[in-house]
Chains A and B, each alone.
Chain A
């Protein structure tokens, strides 16, 4: 997970050169490309065309591509810029670009929650024609190698039915990491306190946390995201809900008959489970976001936790974790379904050099690039071949578990709504209030239900409401 220095750092001169290239590119448009079939293995080159790309910060989707800017120039002729922004900032910037009709990034990276808001209104370029054009996509690209369920999550969107997945059109390509949740636990503590196997139900999860809880020895049973933060919905409540078959919504967006179920018994049970864990968690856990949970694990202060795979990976790295030799990975309690995540690259319709943008996307989602990303930076793979790769499994012992999880994982249930993020954030407020014991779980669920009901009503997703 070491981050390599960029081969070539940016300089003012380079910026000017890029600017000049942009002007040249804009002036002549895409008509300049020449079919360099012999030289570049059958794909077009885009001499002097500038492509701006953006990725989320700190998740290592940007790093490898940044290392390869020179290679992109050589192989594709493209002047590539790679920018990384924090998730919120990136959302705001891409959204404003789509509203104003001047998208800043030819290659825009999007996470599941933004699909309905950004791809839903039809502002992204369908990618099939680029995929099936032999002058743009070489034969050995092997589209079938992408994890099928991951494509259904991030790549395909059905405009008419307001939902992701097939049947639908291809709008985004994976390449940026995928994700799912797993349980990380201390094998040594399991042995010491006589826990024979990772918990299979959420009640057992509490029991195990209780057994591992020895604050006097500096080890707490578990930790979870208790702070007001999107992750309290995504990682904590969401996983507990979907892993027991609970539903956040029923009905159809197309028919506008959506009903929320945040007050269902499963939802209340999920929240009660979190509240029960307070007794076996560090005292400050209601101020913990993902980072603090991962820190507690790496510092050897907790016995077990539930985490995004990309975050959890750090527990296995000797330079980042005190417990590297003694951690194990397990499928979370319940039926094996967890919340999935990850990003896809797409092309806003209002950008000029779509073919060049595709060339960059395609370049960055090859088998070779996927494996290199995982090996160099420990991110989550998107191609089946990478999951089967012996080098990868050797470097990251949790990869086989992750493979199973990714097959079964499900998107956060609010994904099909353009108000998706609001539906994550508003309930978070009430989950958090339950964790700090200002609300009882049942009350919190009722309030969350009312809040989501309100959002649905405003969005017109329930005709009868």
Chain B
């Protein structure tokens, strides 16, 4: 009997490790490949099977200075950080109360309004980018950080409202009522009681909003004019060349360099997903 249990635990562990290995191979191999490619000369990247010769410091330095300095990705990354941070913050500030409103109040047309908010993501960006860029131009905000944040906030809001609403729905309304019985107003209840409980939701939503904006290209293209205010995706669009060959090592280096800030951001914020784990037990 005891042996059986031990055996099944062993089998369980074997399954765990196998699945873990498969996941890591499927997800991490392309990423690892990208990191390795960023350490090679372009000529070396073309070898099949890929060679894992000792990488030279000179090549690595060349690739990374090329990307960070010559191709100005340091500047693009800085721009993207400011824009992503700003628009995510504003979208969260506007969208979270709305999500709370949709979750806690029952009023006529509630679902239709929620779907109208969602419908702002129906339109292909290709169709709205020109009119939006003309609005931004009319506001005199072309080629500025604010100019990019204006549409980015609008693109993030549906996501914030819907994801946060799903999380608020998971928190029992009795908690609000208890807080309000204590004399809190709605807003105070949201701010002091519900938001701390919705930690994992907030963290998840912030990560997604940030990632969507971090990756947005077309809006950025039409609102930004000069290299000094370009974002990462706009800068990266230049990697796909027409009458020159694509430099795979440089492409990979751009990939590695531009992951770092989002990765740091989500590592920082993921702690709250875990912390939320215990907070969730309150329910």
Contacts and interface: CB of A to CB of B under 8 A. Distances in A.
Decide if A and B touch, CB cutoff 8 A. Answer: yes
24 contacts: A5-B65, A5-B66, A6-B69, A6-B70, A9-B69, A52-B226, A56-B243, A63-B70, A81-B228, A83-B226, A83-B230, A86-B240, A86-B241, A87-B241, A93-B221, A93-B222, A96-B130, A102-B137, A104-B142, A295-B245, A311-B243, A311-B245, A320-B43, A322-B43
A453 B259 CA distance: 47
A394 interface: no
Contacts of A291: 241, 245-246
Interface residues of A, number: 51
B75 interface: yes
Interface of A: 3-6, 9-12, 14-15, 18, 52, 56-60, 63, 81-89, 92-93, 96, 100, 102, 104-105, 179, 230, 290-291, 294-295, 298-299, 308, 310-311, 314, 319-322, 341
A320 B225 CA distance: 33
A311 B245 CA distance: 6
Interface string B31-48: 000000000011100110
B149 to A, nearest CB: 16
A96 B70 contact: no
Contact of B244 (A52, A85, A310): A310
A9 B70 CA distance: 8
A219 to B, nearest CB: 14
Contacts of B245: 290-291, 294-295, 311, 314
Contacts of B242: 56, 59, 86-88, 230, 290
Contacts of B246: 58, 291
Given A10-B72, A290-B242, A322-B43, 20 more contacts: A10-B227, A15-B228, A58-B239, A58-B241, A58-B244, A58-B247, A86-B239, A86-B240, A88-B242, A89-B234, A89-B237, A96-B222, A105-B225, A179-B243, A230-B242, A290-B243, A295-B245, A310-B244, A311-B244, A319-B41
Given A52-B226, A179-B243, A100 B43 contact: no
B46 A298 contact: yes
B43 A319 contact: yes
A179 B229 CA distance: 31
A86 B238 CA distance: 4
B104 interface: no
B184 interface: no
A307 B134 CA distance: 41
Nearest to A300: B46
- Please list the 3 inter-chain residue pairs (A to B) with the smallest Cβ-Cβ separation, ordered nearest first: A57-B238, A58-B241, A299-B46
B76 to A, nearest CB: 10
